[in-house]
């Protein structure tokens, strides 16, 4: 899910001090990459002079990518010619990769594993953005009849539409990683009753509007819309969708085709080095705070008050397998959960 500009006028904000939250940090975890923060390995030394094109949907998730470009971290790592090309949809990112119009894409893990399941041939280069407490929440209004997660049974709940997997619509299964995460947490409250929730895809701005005007009794949103809903319409948290079985789950990462990763091991290593440096700097919050308004269209106040997840400096195979397992259990990908061993290790590119 892309956590981008809410579009609510600044003068309409209320209770600005009620959620002064700032939770950027470096995520830990076992590194499965070849020294993600170091320079190119021996045998693959030298500056890569070719242009590297990175496809991205600008937002909070991939803000360190833009930080790396602005601060010259790619050039310092050996990639002097990096171009970041903006797209509006995940499907467009993969079309660009397939057409060789882009070399690397910043992508939602739901799309990464779905596209791998559909056609294979993709390699994960680095983890990009992981959830933390308050990153993705189900909200209601005070006085709502929905006072606990079990009361979401048979209810229409707003769902961000920016990471919808079109091939899963009308399948009866979760249609995005966000929906799968929320359903996994709901299962702990209501068992198989989680399947009765009717997810209604729409923009996150529309979700907040429909909650305020009573068209929806509950919505699933990320930041900065959580803050907007709470401060403007008095929304309250009903459930954290990234908690319990989905706590700290990876949300997005950087992916390339296998053929490109195999042909460009030096570029892979240099890219990892630059991203690790940028994501380490992002943990200081100051650098990421300054770039969020330009990247995600947020105001400085949005950047100050929104709960931001973690930007890992290494990639955990176990954490990614957990995400893939959630999708397998929800029948979003074809690998039966009873025989699931996971494709993550084979997807990790080695540069």
232-244 pLDDT tens trace = 899 999 999 999 9
Tell me how long the chain is. 351
In the 8-state DSSP scheme, what is residue 348? B
Listed residues 246, 277, 297: the one ending a domain? 246
Per-residue pLDDT band at 42 (split at 50, 70, 90): very low
pLDDT attached to residue 348 = 87
pLDDT attached to residue 49 = 56
Identify whether residues 220 and 171 lie together within a single domain. Answer: yes
CA distance 271 to 166: 30
CA distance 308 to 231: 17
Angle of the 109-119 helix axis to the 90-98 helix axis, nearest 10: 50
Listed residues 189, 219, 246: the one ending a domain? 246
Listed residues 219, 246, 273: the one ending a domain? 246
The CATH number for 289's domain is: 3.40.190.10
Q: What angle do CA 241, 131, 200 make, to 5 degrees?
A: 40
pLDDT attached to residue 351 = 61
Residue 263 zone, left/alpha/beta (φ > 0; ψ -120 to 50; rest): alpha
CA distance 26 to 279: 7
Per-residue pLDDT band at 22 (split at 50, 70, 90): very low
The answer as to whether 3 is a domain residue is: no
Specify whether the CB–CB gap between 25 and 132 falls below 8 A: yes
List beta partners, residue 130. Answer: 250, 310
**Is the whole-model pTM more than 0.85?**
no
CA distance 214 to 66: 38
Nearest partner of 14 among 225, 302, 227, 232, judged by Cα: 232
- What are the pLDDT digits (tens) for 47-99? 455 899 999 999 889 999 999 999 999 999 999 999 999 998 899 999 999 99
The answer as to whether 5 is a domain residue is: no
The phi, psi pair for 237, rounded to 5°, reads -75, 130
- What are the pLDDT digits (tens) for 151-161? 999 999 999 99
Q: Is the pLDDT confidence value at 118 over 50?
A: yes
Identify whether residues 22 and 36 lie together within a single domain. Answer: yes
Domain that holds residue 160: 136-246
The phi, psi pair for 147, rounded to 5°, reads -105, -10
Coil vs helix vs strand at 84: strand
Please give the radius of gyration of the chain, using alpha carbons only, rounded to the nearest integer: 20
CA distance 345 to 116: 13
CA distance 60 to 297: 10
Average pLDDT, the chain: 83
- Number of domains forming the structure of the chain: 2
Edge-to-edge strands, sheet with 218-222: 198-202, 156-160, 218-222, 136-140, 236-240
């Amino acid at each position: 899910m892309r956590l981008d500009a809410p579009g609510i006028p600044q003068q309409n904000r209320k209770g600005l001090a009620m959620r002064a939250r700032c939770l950027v940090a470096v995520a830990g975890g076992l590194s499965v990459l070849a020294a993600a923060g170091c320079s190119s390995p021996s045998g693959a030394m030298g500056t890569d002079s070719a242009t590297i094109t990175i496809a991205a949907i600008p937002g909070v998730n991939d803000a360190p990518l833009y930080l790396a470009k602005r601060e010259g971290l790619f050039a310092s790592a050996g990639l002097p010619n990096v171009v970041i090309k903006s797209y509006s949809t995940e499907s467009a990112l993969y079309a660009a990769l397939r057409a060789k119009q882009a070399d690397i894409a910043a992508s939602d893990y739901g799309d990464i594993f779905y596209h791998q399941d559909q056609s294979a041939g993709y390699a994960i280069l680095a983890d990009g953005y992981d959830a933390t407490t308050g990153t993705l929440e189900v909200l209601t209004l005070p006085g709502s009849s929905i006072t606990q997660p079990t009361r979401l049974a048979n209810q229409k709940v707003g769902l961000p539409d920016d990471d919808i997997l079109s091939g899963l619509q009308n399948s009866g299964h979760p249609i995005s990683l966000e929906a799968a995460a929320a359903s996994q947490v709901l299962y702990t409250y209501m068992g198989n009753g989680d399947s009765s929730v009717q997810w209604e895809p729409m923009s996150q701005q529309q979700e907040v509007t429909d909650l305020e005007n009573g068209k929806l009794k509950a919505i699933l949103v990320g930041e900065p819309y959580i803050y907007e809903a709470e401060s403007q319409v008095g929304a309250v948290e009903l459930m954290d969708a990234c908690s319990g079985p989905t706590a700290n789950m990876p949300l997005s990462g950087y992916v390339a085709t296998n053929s490109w990763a195999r042909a460009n091991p030096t570029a892979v290593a240099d890219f990892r080095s630059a991203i690790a440096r940028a994501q380490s700097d992002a943990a200081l919050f100051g650098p990421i705070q300054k770039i969020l308004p330009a990247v995600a269209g947020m105001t400085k106040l949005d950047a100050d008050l929104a709960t931001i997840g973690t930007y890992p400096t290494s990639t955990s195979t176990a954490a990614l397998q957990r995400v893939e397992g959630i999708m397998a259990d929800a029948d979003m990908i074809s690998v039966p959960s009873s025989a699931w061993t996971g494709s993550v290790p084979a997807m990790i590119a080695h540069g």
